[in-house]
Amino acid sequence: DTAVSQTPKYLVTQMGNDKSIKCEQNLGHDTMYWYKQDSKKFLKIMFSYNNKELIINETVPNRFSPKSPDKAHLNLHINSLELGDSAVYFCASKLAGGQETQYFGPGTRLLVL
């Protein structure tokens, strides 16, 4: 299947731990994103990479560090997890160029206890 995939689907962890979420797309896209969706369903962009280069970095704590080993993968590492990090994290991708459709992954549900 051609798609955007994320692992893990669910992540439950203790405050203070470090965790990573992985994203892969096989759509041949050049640009990838991380979004955070909070409990009120508000969807906010965190980062964007184009061909492994960071192009958008919103006001996100330094504890969040994205990494793109190649243009098909974008991972998100979170250090010293806090309660407020609990959310659903979505990866998305699109072709380079302005008005191209963004395709979203199924989400990773992170719960910090």
Partner 1 sequence: GENVEQHPSTLSVQEGDSAVIKCTYSDSASNYFPWYKQELGKGPQLIIDIRSNVGEKKDQRIAVTLNKTAKHFSLHITETQPEDSAVYFCAVGFQGAQKLVFGQGTRLTINP
List residues binding partner 1 (CB under 8 A).
Answer: 4, 31, 40-45, 48, 50, 55-56, 90, 92, 98-107
Which tokens sit at 65? 């560090």
**Is the Cβ of residue 57 or residue 80 nearer to partner 1 in the bound state?**
57
* Beta-ladder partners of 74: none
Nearer to partner 1, 46 or 78 (CB): 46
Question: Alpha-carbon distance 15 to 56, whole Å?
Answer: 27
Nearer residue to partner 1 within complex by CB, 41 or 69: 41
Dist. CA 76–CA 78, nearest whole Å: 7
